[in-house]
Structure 1
Amino acid sequence: LALDRLPISLVAAIEFVGTIGVALVGLRSRRNVAALAIAVAGTLLLIDIKWSSDPVGLFWAFLNGALFVGYIVLGHRIAQTGIGITGLGTAMAIAFLVVLPVGFSEALPAFSAPQLLVAAIGVGICSSVIPYICDQLAMARLPRASFALMLSLLPLTATLIGVIVLRQVPSLTDCLGIALVVVGVAMHKPAQE
Structure 2
Amino acid sequence: MSVFADSALSKLEAEQRLFNPVFKGPTGVAGRYGFRGELALKFAPKFADEARPPEILAEQVMLVAESGKPTIPFLCCYLLSFEYLRPLVEALGDVIDEHGKYVLFCNNIDLSTRYTVPYGGATFYVLPIDEATAYNELLDLLYIERNDLKKLDTGSRLDRIYETARNFIETFPAISFEEGLKRMGPVRNPNENRPV
TM-score (norm 1): 0.24
In terms of fraction of residues, the more strand-rich structure is: 2
Structure 1 or 2, whichever has the larger Rg, is: 1
TM-score (norm 2): 0.24
In terms of fraction of residues, the more helix-rich structure is: 1
